[in-house]
Structure formats: C-alpha cells, structure tokens
Amino acid sequence: MASLLRCFVLAIVLSFAVTAGAADKALPKKKITLGTKTLLVEVASTTEQQAQGLMNRKSLGEDDGMLFVFSNEETRFFWMKDTLIDLSIGYFNKDGKLVDVQEMKSGKGLADTLLPSYPSAHPAKYALEMNKGWFDKNKIKLGTKLKINP
C-alpha cells in the first residue's frame, strides 16, 4: 500500500513538473518594426503556441508583446481565455499593413461561454498583442506597415 501511495504521489509531482515546464517554454523572439518603433516580441507560429498565447501572464513589459504568424490570410478570431491582463490587438494583412486595432478585455473570472470574440475587421495573416492602449499611445495608425526583421 505504501509503495502504491509513493507511486501516486510521484505521478502527481511529475505531472506538475511537466505542466510547469510547458508553461515556461520560451517562445522564439524576433525584432519587428512598426512605424518608428522597433520591438523584440515573442513569436507564436505553431497552432500550440497560438492556442497558449498570453494566457496566465500577470503582466507585460511596456513594449513587450506577442506576434501571431499564420500560414494564410483570413478573418481571425481571438478571445481572452485565461488571459489575466487587458490587451490591444493589431491585425495585419498579408502585406504587413495594419488593417484593424481592437481593445480586448481580460477574461479573468469569466466562464468560457461568456468570453467575447474579437474578429478582425479584414482578413489578416498576422496579429500583434500588446498592452492595452499601446497602439494609440505609440501613434500606430491603420495602414502602418509591419516589418519582421531577419
């Protein structure tokens, strides 16, 4: 019985370690340029990375963010599941032109069925999530070009 209990406890500890390791897995970063601003942002290019997004982050640095890179251009839908901070999202078309900016409210404390969806106003290939109000504060207007630096 004691060895069974030890195995059970070990399984629980390992599952927490694996979960914590997945959450700590750092995403690649790239330099991007928007207007006169150059930023180093995390890049989510796989389905798994995009599904995780900025979930469970308690804060973002002033010019930190996440760039979502999709394989095609289409209407994009974002929601704030398990997202603890309010964010701004900029949607960019296949040419890197900013076509929509929206303010997204934290999903903290809301059931999944009550979370609003934030669809892009136009087809988008890229989405950039930043702190709430970042695009206005930095005077990044519709039509601004996104440049992803090598």
What number does CATH give the domain 27-148? 2.60.120.1140
Residues near 100 by Cβ (< 8 Å), separated by ≥ 6? Answer: 90, 91, 120, 121, 122, 124, 142
* Region 17-46 average pLDDT: 80
Q: Is the pLDDT of residue 1 over 60?
A: no
Q: Encode pLDDT of 88-112 as tens digits.
A: 999 999 999 999 999 999 999 999 9
The structure tokens 């005077």 sit at 139
Q: What are residue 102's phi and psi, to 5 degrees? A: -135, 150
Query: What is the four-CA torsion angle of 135, 140, 142, 145, rounded to 10 degrees?
Result: -120
Are 145 and 97 a contacting pair, CB within 8 Å?
yes
**CA–CA separation, 90 vs 67, rounded Å?**
9
Query: What is the four-CA torsion angle of 83, 87, 92, 97, rounded to 10 degrees?
Result: -170
Cβ–Cβ contacts within 10 Å for residue 137, how many? 12
Q: Is the pLDDT of residue 10 over 50?
A: no
Q: Where are the domains of the chain?
A: 27-148
What pLDDT, on the 0 to 100 scale, is given for residue 15?
35
**Residue 8 vs residue 111, higher pLDDT:** 111
* Region 108-132 average pLDDT: 96
**CA–CA separation, 120 vs 99, rounded Å?**
8
What pLDDT, on the 0 to 100 scale, is given for residue 26?
85
**CA–CA separation, 16 vs 133, rounded Å?**
35
What pLDDT, on the 0 to 100 scale, is given for residue 21?
40
- Report the predicted TM-score, pTM, of the whole model to 2 decimal places: 0.82
Burial label for 6, CB within 10 Å (0-12, 13-18, 19+), is exposed
- DSSP H helices, the chain, are 2-24, 47-52, 134-137
